[in-house]
């Protein structure tokens, strides 16, 4: 056991466990994996090396590893309704890069949603390898926060991209995969749906699937799917019709193109998560995530908060803090963290600074995993309101940021309202215990 070998790490793990138990985790890309998933992840499978694919390994001793990986593949194919699945990518970003390498050459044109409008780094942002190697043409959201399909179609016809990405990190509405597919088809592009955030909602039947409109689907496995930190690349029937060799291209790009041996313990944990996602109670879980998020959004609006798009259809919402001043995202994140409510600072559309954004992003997957429902969302909305109200008088200026942030951090720690909310958060968490017995 770690406490007998490395007391420092053991103590830090326990402190993190205590933090998770006593904080409200509201970052929408975070969740709590089940004990069964954690057990597979920490199993003896970490001892094995398995370069290659089931039945085609470069090492011996993979009889059971092959069966585990094949189980994960078959479960994913059934859950997502796709023809081919690769479960070996180490994480979401490597999975997306594997797609680039399978479909593109350096310099090819790609399109993804602008990062500050809710897109992802790997969809062509300038500081990502995806934006450095490829000619990235971003599309945007309208003033109302919804995807600007007219701009997307116009840009696609003008630039003829090889790939159009859909699937986002801070978009609170249903994604119109059909419209995306039509635009991609009109210019001969591959439509790649990155469903990392909404995979669990799709499996739960609460969000439309891209399996009939996209050629390739990528996803992480640790967000709404509640699995380990891994990823999958899926090829649809439409993708194979466009290129029959697409599954082989994907597999060869993952291994040996970009990776060595897969993490067999992660593969097993993915298989467990997929099994759990196939159970009837997971559908109710997915429905409750959205119910909770919509109640949270409505309660915040009642208290005067401004939300991007005015609400949510999924697991997350984006709070526009510009009524409190520009650049207040950092202040809000840190004040809420002191109160035991974990969110992340986030850009809102047309935000002037990605480093000091004017919004916060929050969601309900982890809260719902703990068993919280509509009643608790109303309580949490009130807590968020009371904390954010305490930051309204703090100024922010990029010219004086160090001085202003230091002043804020020094004073906010002594704030009586935030200390009171922290006590209420601890009391609420006790009613919804996490990892009992650990």
What are the residue numbers of the active site?
49, 51, 194, 220, 223, 229
| C-alpha–C-alpha distance, residues 201 and 347, integer Å | 24
224 close to 31: Cβ distance less than 8 angstroms: yes
Comparing C-alpha atoms, which of 327, 319, 313, 318 is closest to residue 408?
327
Q: What single DSSP character describes residue 340? A: T
**Which residues are paired to 194 by β-bridges?**
218
| C-alpha–C-alpha distance, residues 188 and 123, integer Å | 18
Residue whose pair of structure tokens reads 């291209």 in the numeric block: 249
Element (DSSP H or E) covering residue 269: helix 264-277
| C-alpha–C-alpha distance, residues 138 and 350, integer Å | 13
Residue whose pair of structure tokens reads 């934006």 in the numeric block: 131
**DSSP line for 20-86:** HHHSEE--TT-----HHHHHHHTSGGGG----EETTEESSS--HHHHHHHHHHHHHHHHHHT-SEEE
**DSSP line for 43-58:** SGGGG----EETTEES
| C-alpha–C-alpha distance, residues 143 and 141, integer Å | 7
| C-alpha–C-alpha distance, residues 80 and 217, integer Å | 10
């Amino acid at each position: 056991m770690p406490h007998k070998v490395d007391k420092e790490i053991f103590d830090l793990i326990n402190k993190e466990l205590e933090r998770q138990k006593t904080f409200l985790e509201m970052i929408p890309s975070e969740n709590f994996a089940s004990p069964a998933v954690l057990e597979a992840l920490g199993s003896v499978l970490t001892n094995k090396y398995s370069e290659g694919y089931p039945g085609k390994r470069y090492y011996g001793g993979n009889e059971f590893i092959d069966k585990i990986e094949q189980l994960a593949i078959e479960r994913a194919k059934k859950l997502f309704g796709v023809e081919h699945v690769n479960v070996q990518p180490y994480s979401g970003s490597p999975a997306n890069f594997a797609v680039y390498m399978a479909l593109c050459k350096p310099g090819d044109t790609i399109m993804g949603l602008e990062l500050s409008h809710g897109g992802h780094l790997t969809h062509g942002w300038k500081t990502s390898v995806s934006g450095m190697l490829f000619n990235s043409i971003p599309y945007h959201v309208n003033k109302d926060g919804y995807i600007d399909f007219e701009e997307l179609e116009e840009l696609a016809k003008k630039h003829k991209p090889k790939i159009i990405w859909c699937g986002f990190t801070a978009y609170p509405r249903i994604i119109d995969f059909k419209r995306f597919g039509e635009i991609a088809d009109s210019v001969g592009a591959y439509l790649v749906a990155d469903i990392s955030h909404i995979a669990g909602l799709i499996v739960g039947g609460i969000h439309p699937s891209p399996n009939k409109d996209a050629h390739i689907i990528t996803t992480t496995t640790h967000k709404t799917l509640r699995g380990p930190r891994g990823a999958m690349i899926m090829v649809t029937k439409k993708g194979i019709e466009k290129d029959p060799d697409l599954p082989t291209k994907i597999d060869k790009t993952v291994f040996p193109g970009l990776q060595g041996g897969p993490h067999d313990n992660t593969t097993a944990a993915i298989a467990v998560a997929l099994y759990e996602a196939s159970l009837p109670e997971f559908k109710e879980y997915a429905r409750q995530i959205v119910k909770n998020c919509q109640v949270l959004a409505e309660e915040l609006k009642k208290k005067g908060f401004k939300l991007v798009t005015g609400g949510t259809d999924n697991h997350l919402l984006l709070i526009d803090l510009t009524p409190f001043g520009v650049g207040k995202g950092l202040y809000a994140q840190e004040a809420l963290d002191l109160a035991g409510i974990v969110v992340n600072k986030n850009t809102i559309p047309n935000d002037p600074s990605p480093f000091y954004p004017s919004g916060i992003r929050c969601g309900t997957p982890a809260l719902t995993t703990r068993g919280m429902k509509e009643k608790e969302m109303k309580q949490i909305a009130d807590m968020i309101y009371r904390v954010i109200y305490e930051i309204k008088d703090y100024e922010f200026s990029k010219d004086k940021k160090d001085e202003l942030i230091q002043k804020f951090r020094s004073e906010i720690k002594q704030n009586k309202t935030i200390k009171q909310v922290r006590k209420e958060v601890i009391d609420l968490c006790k009613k919804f215990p996490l990892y009992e017995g650990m």
